[in-house]
Structure 1
Amino acid sequence: MPINNQPADSQLATVGQLIQHATHAVAFTGAGISTDSGIPDLAGIAAILNADKTFHGDVFHLLDPSFATRDPATFYRLYRQTFFHPDARPNAAHHFLAQLATTGHLAGVVTMNIDYLHQLAGSQNVAEYWGDLRQNHCIHCQQAYDWDTIAQQPIPHCHTCGQLVLPDFVQRNLATYPAAIQKGHQLLAQADLVLIIGTQRNVTSFPKNVPKIVVNSDQPRIGDKQTIYIQTKAASFFEKLALYL
């Protein structure tokens, strides 16, 4: 299968056939799948941080647990503009993947996102490399808090000990969850089709000799002969693909 970068609409038939013949397809998703749900990707987050006149740092500075603990007011003000969007809802791409699972064509989703939109769309077998927004704990007593607490308090503090509450992925200093990584590797190792959506991750990091469909609005990277590139927004493409199937 040659690398294919034709207009998205012209590839609906090819992609549809690959999906219909798959018995263990796996989706690997990044920030680009959620931009149509109103959540910025890394470029959008960088633009927000660069435009802020009181913050002088990048996304890694913002998410540094020492910074969040030292200046929780600035952390939470910018966290709400960048990562924390509890009112966001799944778009057509999330719903398409959930529907694929119900028809037996999609074995699971591996995601680098923390927005929980795959589960809200109905996907059940999801490997979240960095966890999700629902996971927050007190930095002192480790009392757990859902995202409702974060949404209701400008600077959330523990009801038990009064100390600061921070998202787990920040407290872990962006460390991934080993169990989620293992689950993701197992899913991908058994895949007969990989849907790579909304991420610039190099296709060479995925199983060889397995068809890969890359849906991303950014410029395609060089891949292998098993790769189809579709340069477009994920939500619009999968909305059309759902009608085609």
Structure 2
Amino acid sequence: MRMRPTLSWTPAEKLPPGTTDLEPVADALRAGGVLVLSGAGISTESGIPDYRGEGGSLSRHTPMTYQDFTADAQARRRYWARSHLGWRTFGRARPNAGHRAVAAFGRHGRLAGVITQNVDRLHQAAGSEDVVELHGSLDRVVCLSCGDLSARRELAARLEQANAGFEPVAAAINPDGDADLTDEQVGDFRVMPCRACGGILKPDVVFFGETVPPQRVEHCRNLVREATSLLVLGSSLTVMSGLRFVRQAAQAGKPVLIVNRDPTRGDQHALTRVELPLGSALTTLAHRLDIPLDGQGTAEERPRG
């Protein structure tokens, strides 16, 4: 379950310090069977902000909760106005060097899989295959009444038509694709119902306070069981949805390696935490392993739905 976000967690003083030594990560990739667990930090170089790092959005923004979205029509209006505006920017984001490096590791047989906590589909756009989207994806929309799935671009077109002239200037775009708007800017924004049954539409993502589907969690647990090591990229591991896989790997005696600029909640379970920017760190690793970054992952990025 993704809990309501909080800034109350402070890393314990006894956690191991970070390092700039990439060799333990390189060794794991040489051995193969590495399972990647990525978080918002891998997408910051694509222009999508982090939740908690320096300048993270939680310092000024609380993401929508499932309870608020389902219970309050005005909250849904506010969410869809902000999300619609945010999608214009969010949907244009392109994979960065970190995404491309992960895709290259996969193409060259070094990975057991990729689990991402992100909802931006940038791993897939870079060329990664069989990515498990732990929290879903913003490019799909689901009806809460009939379960109908549709493409976000279709809803975006409907919202554009129904809200002609909606052109507020957002203070910022957030990791969940939500834009910061005032209630005055939201105004009387029109929300679209499900075309199939008239029900409430929701992005096909796991909101804070909502439960990750059990079958998805079990699939990820199986990936951890089959992997030889776990590589965490750009996640603070503050919420249990990702931290549980770190704990599982550590309990099984599998190396946990973290690349993140700031301390994480999983540091105590890690063999190492590398304090380097992800794009440059992963590019360095690819060069060290003689893995080219051209090809499927660096040509024209694949469409995201």
Query: Are the structure 2 counterparts of residues 102 and 4 from structure 1 closer, same or farther at C-alpha, using a change threshold of 3 Å?
Result: farther
Deviation, 1:82, is: 6.3
Do residues 131 (structure 1) and 143 (structure 2) align?
A: no
- Whole-angstrom CA distance in 1 between matches of 2:71 and 2:60: 18
Tell me the CA shift for residue 220 of structure 1: 4.8
How far apart, in 2, do the equivalents of 1:147 and 1:105 lie?
33
Q: Which runs of 5+ in 2 are unaligned?
A: 1-15, 161-190, 238-242, 290-305
What letter corresponds to residue 133 of structure 1 in structure 2?
L
Contact 1:118 1:126 in 2 (8 A): yes
Residue 31 of structure 2 aligns to which amino acid in structure 1? H
User: Where do residues 1-245 of structure 1 align in structure 2 (5 Å cutoff)?
Assistant: 5-7=18-20, 11-22=21-32, 24-43=33-52, 44-49=56-61, 58-61=62-65, 64-66=68-70, 69-80=73-84, 85-152=90-157, 153-154=159-160, 155-169=191-205, 174-201=210-237, 202=243, 203-208=246-251, 209-220=253-264, 222-224=267-269, 227-245=271-289
Report the secondary structure of 1:210's partner residue.
coil
Counterpart contact for 1:216–1:232, Cα < 8 Å: yes
Aligned AA (1:204) = R
Shift of 1:47: 3.9
- CA distance in structure 2 between the aligned counterparts of 1:81 and 1:46, rounded to whole angstroms: 19
The offset of 1:134, in angstroms, is: 2.5
Q: Secondary structure at the match of 2:137?
A: coil
**The residue matched to 1:214 in structure 2 has which SS?**
strand
SS in structure 2 of the partner of residue 39 of structure 1? coil
Give secondary structure in 2 for the equivalent of 1:42: coil
Read off the aligned partner of 1:74 and give its amino acid letter. Answer: R
| Gapped regions of structure 1 (runs ≥ 5) | 50-57
Where 1:71 maps in the other structure, the secondary structure is helix
| TM-score using structure 2 length | 0.65
Q: CA deviation at 1:146?
A: 0.7
Measured after TM superposition, the shift of residue 96 of structure 1 is 1.3
CA RMSD of aligned residues (A): 2.9
Structure number with higher helix proportion: 1
Q: CA deviation at 1:235?
A: 1.8
Matched AA of 1:230 = V
**What CA distance in whole angstroms lies between the structure 1 residues aligned with 2:192 and 2:281?**
39
Q: Could you list the per-position Cα deviations for residues 173-225 of structure 1 after superposition, in whole angstroms to 9, with x for gaps in the alignment? A: 6221222211110111121121111112254343342222101121255424x
Tell me which moved more, 11-20 or 105-114: 11-20
> Contact 1:64 / 1:173 at 8 angstroms: preserved in 2?
no
Distance 1:159 1:234 in 2: 41
